[in-house]
A and B are shown apart, each in its own frame.
Chain A
Amino acid sequence: MSTQTRIIEVRQNVLKQNDILARALRQRFHEAGVFVVSMVSSPGAGKTALLERTLTLLRQQFRVAALVGDLATENDAARLARSQAPVKQILTGTVCHLEAAMVQNALEGWKLDDLDFLFIENVGNLVCPSSYDLGEDLRLVLMSVTEGEDKPLKYPTIFNSADAAVITKIDLASAVDFDATAAKRSIQAVRPGMTILEVSAKSGDGTEALLDFLQSRRTDASAMEASRDASAFAAPH
């Protein structure tokens, strides 16, 4: 007996649950006036080190907090807590990336209205995090000078999903013969026009430019939010 088959047309985004949650988070962040920055990189590129410095410096002027994802340990949260900013660890277990639901759960009990900046350090991984929107305003992709200038060409998807690139550990650049021009060329090849910052969390070089960048992006975002509110108000009903 032969069976006939037919095709039912559907159209369903496989990541719709994450996308819906991320959209709701973004809405909440905007309403609370908190600017959310996520960080992705390979393990050890220097996310926690840079974040510790950033939190310490930004705290002098802004209300800041951080969520940090890790497979199994709480070490990063302990390091970040030295900045005195509120920090929460998200343990992902076997999951190699953060998802919007994990961010939502971690935020329980936090008053977003009391924050100006929220940072989210993703699990060290250059593949999986690219598919998951976390509701962030700005996604930074980090690559350290010790990783090789062609990293972006090997992981174009994550570089393409990011809003700005940060080259880290520039204090080690000459020791490893880092070719900054080649690295920037690789980044621009997979994401033309992307802002590139160069920093050392160790010496502090470049952190001022990073802070300026974050503040100006936050100002732009709130100006956009304000004009959206104004036009919504002015629109005829």
Chain B
Amino acid sequence: MHELSIAMSIVDLAQEEADRRGGVQIKAVHLRLGLLSGVVKDALLSSYEMACEGTPLAGSQLVVEEVPVLVFCSHCDARRPVHSTRLFCCSECGTPTGDVVQGKELLVVGLEVEE
């Protein structure tokens, strides 16, 4: 389980961004979480609260947007959703492909702050 250390990085990173903007109070952190990031959403959510304890982010929310896996299909010559993470092929035409173009993200994309 590495979700706690990931959660702590998220808290640090969000606080850095807030400090850079003159110490705004963060209500929520928005995260894009790829389904191939290796991080489990539920474990991350429960670690987040612990990671916030004793920091200026205590009481803030973590809002997670899960990002589906897209692969490049050479047959369709396009980015396509993967059939499933247990079957890496183009969901349109079925061509097997391991060329992942989306789904490994672990990105802080927004901070909800008090006006």
Contact = CB atoms under 8 A, between A and B. Distances in A.
B6 to A, nearest CB: 6
Nearest to A189: B87
B4 to A, nearest CB: 10
B101 interface: no
Nearest to A7: B110
B85 A156 contact: yes
Interface residues of A, number: 34
B106 A160 contact: no
B86 A189 contact: yes
Interface string B67-109: 0000000000000000001111100000011101000001111
A102 interface: no
B115 A190 contact: no
B9 interface: yes
Nearest to A4: B115
Contacts, number: 105
B39 interface: yes
A95 interface: yes
B108 A160 contact: no
Contacts of A161: 36, 38
Contacts of B57: none
A174 interface: no
Nearest to B69: A160
Given A7-B112, A96-B1, A14 B13 contact: yes
Contacts of B114: 3-5
A128 B108 contact: no
B13 A8 contact: no
Contact of A12 (B13, B88, B100): B13
B89 A157 contact: no
A214 interface: no
Interface of A: 3-15, 17, 95-97, 127-128, 130-131, 153, 156-158, 160-161, 188-194
17 contacts: A4-B114, A7-B30, A7-B113, A9-B110, A10-B110, A11-B108, A12-B17, A13-B106, A14-B31, A14-B107, A15-B106, A96-B1, A127-B2, A128-B1, A131-B6, A189-B88, A192-B96
Q: Sorted from nearest, which 5 A-B pairs have the closest CB atoms?
A: A192-B96, A4-B115, A131-B38, A130-B38, A128-B2
